[in-house]
Structure 1
Amino acid sequence: MERRTEEAARRWLADQGVRQVGDGWVSDERPDVLLTAHQVAQSWAGDVFAEDLDAADRLRLAFGLLGLLDDYWVTCEIRFANESAEGPLPADVLWDGYRQLLEADRDVEAVTYSLWVDWFEDRTTSATAFAEVLGNDIDRVVAEGSEALLRRARRVLECSGPVRWTVKEPTYRTVMRLPALHSAVFRGLLASFHDVYGDLEPAAALALLDQLDLPTNTQHLAQLRHVLAAGHKNRHRSPGAWEAGVRQAEPAAAVVERHLPES
């Protein structure tokens, strides 16, 4: 499906007079000027939603562009269309598009960034977004454990810091059954503490942290344990707490390092 939508997007761009050349793009209007993927996205992505297609097909075409260009601006145009007078966009196509790209075996930074800043940091959309990209089918993810499903879960967990604790905690607990995702849960907990909009409950987060199967010398592990044990919920609401945790952890880290086997 992903490859088909990208090829459809490539054909659509060709109809607009835009084609890929090496590492860049050129337009028929200025064939001597090499364009970046970002420039293509800014100039043409919004036009997708003016096409004489139904809303679902326009959205699929937009996701094809997102997969092809891997540029955050395409996600902005999707969001603009979703919030426009003609919106909202078909939810099944919207979230299926995100899930497919999150499972892709390549870098999808534009997708994870969009998920984080556009959907998870917005309290009006974070619960729905988290449920759609992971929470609703977490039992299947854990039971099947395919590489594609694990990629999606890992990417979602790592940027889930802003999602309300009551929304994400059940998913975190389910993921505990799968050691392959423990590092992603740790990064989710770390982001929950550090993100400006991060959310966690210290006691519950500490209980999860203590169950994670992580290397003893995992960076920031001791510091995170310290701030959670002290009852801190967020770095930005507890000025100096993380720095105190760093100082507290340094002696323990030195002891651990002395006892690590030589390489």
Structure 2
Amino acid sequence: MQAEEAARRWLADKGVSQVCDGWVSDEEPDVLLTANQVAHSWAGDVFAEDLDAADQVRLAFGLVDLLDEYWVTCEIRFANEGAEGPLPADVLWDGYRQRLEADRDAEAVTYSLWVDWFEDHVTSASAFAEVLGTDIGRVVAERSEALLRRARRVLECSGPVRWTVKEPTYRTAVRLPALHPALFRSLLTSFHDVYGDLEPADALALLDRLDLPTDTRHLAELRHVLAAGHRNHYRSPGAWDDAVRSCS
């Protein structure tokens, strides 16, 4: 909340304020703006502010909280890869972890992880380690709601992360039944995602350890394609349809 209020004050200094149906700027007070328009127009300016890099990152994450727009996370990534980057890693990833643990919508940050950090094999291993891999032992030991929330969210968008990177985390997570539904969805997206990655035999062995209702949607089909040795929906275009027919 503190970061969100700092972002609100920063926008107000730029002449941008929130009204009941959206946002307005002092330059065009009669034009109603969406949060997405505000993000596209002003979020990048955060990294031109006369602040140290850590405070710039904190302010940007405040805009994520305030606007709930994926584009703000794009500006964070651009700044990290830009001429003044990289951004301070501790502040950057702490920003992600805090929002993944928060009891509020986290779609902007999970989508950012999925399509920007996890699909890029240059960054996927380090990003996955920062948001979950390094902490999975603590998640299983402490089992706090905040840590479980973060683990579920990361697992569910981790399909593009290479199997060799995520498999040790999956094996640790399977010790905690509360994470089994999220692990199932992670295996499902690892198969279906365009950039999804898994090893069929290892994934099947993990799937068989999950305590799930027998009528879990797509459970039988996933087991079928993994048992047949298929790694990815797009590498074996007819495999899933065959599984659906076989399991119906």
Which TM-score band applies after superposition, normalised by the shorter structure? over 0.9
1:55 is aligned to: 53
Q: Does 1:236 align with 2:234?
A: yes
Instruction: Could you tell me which runs of 5 or more consecutive residues in structure 1 were left unpaired when the two chains were aligned.
Output: 251-263
Q: How does 1:90-169 map to 2 (within 5 A)?
A: 90-169=88-167
Residue type of the alignment partner of 2:141: A
Q: CA deviation at 1:219?
A: 0.5
Q: Based on CA coordinates, which of the two structures has the bigger radius of gyration? A: 1
Of the candidates 65, 78, 82, which is equivalent to residue 84 of structure 1? 82
CA distance in 1, matches of 2:247, 2:123: 37
Q: 1:79-116, CA deviations, whole angstroms, 9 ceiling, x for partnerless residues?
A: 11111111111110110000011111111111111000
Q: How does 1:173-188 map to 2 (within 5 A)?
A: 173-188=171-186
Q: 1:52-90, CA deviations, whole angstroms, 9 ceiling, x for partnerless residues?
A: 000111111001101111101101111111111111111
Q: How does 1:194-205 map to 2 (within 5 A)?
A: 194-205=192-203
CA distance in 1, matches of 2:136, 2:66: 28
Aligned residues: 248
SS in 1 for 2:234: helix
SS in 1 for 2:23: strand
1:74 is aligned to: 72
Q: CA deviation at 1:138?
A: 0.6
* 147-156 vs 27-36, which moves further: 27-36
CA distance in 2, matches of 1:160, 1:99: 15
Instruction: Could you tell me which runs of 5 or more consecutive residues in structure 2 were left unpaired when the two chains were aligned.
Output: none
Q: 1:228-249, CA deviations, whole angstroms, 9 ceiling, x for partnerless residues?
A: 0000000100120010011111
Of the candidates 180, 189, 192, which is equivalent to residue 191 of structure 1? 189
Residue type of the alignment partner of 1:89: L
Residue type of the alignment partner of 2:231: K
SS in 2 for 1:20: strand
| TM-score normalised by L of structure 2 | 0.99
| TM-score normalised by L of structure 1 | 0.93
CA distance in 2, matches of 1:227, 1:95: 35
Q: CA deviation at 1:147?
A: 1.1
CA distance in 2, matches of 1:109, 1:176: 24
Give runs of ≥4 in structure 1 deviating > 3 Å.
none
For the aligned residues, what is the CA RMSD?
A: 0.7
Q: CA deviation at 1:23?
A: 3.7
CA distance in 1, matches of 2:12, 2:64: 16
CA distance in 2, matches of 1:177, 1:156: 17
CA distance in 2, matches of 1:68, 1:141: 28
Of the candidates 45, 52, 55, which is equivalent to residue 43 of structure 2? 45
Residue type of the alignment partner of 2:241: E
1:258 is aligned to: none
CA distance in 2, matches of 1:211, 1:172: 11
CA distance in 1, matches of 2:133, 2:106: 20
Q: 1:133-187, CA deviations, whole angstroms, 9 ceiling, x for partnerless residues?
A: 0000111111111111111100000000000101111111111111111000000
Q: 1:207-254, CA deviations, whole angstroms, 9 ceiling, x for partnerless residues?
A: 01011011111000000000000000001001200100111110xxxx
1:218 is aligned to: 216
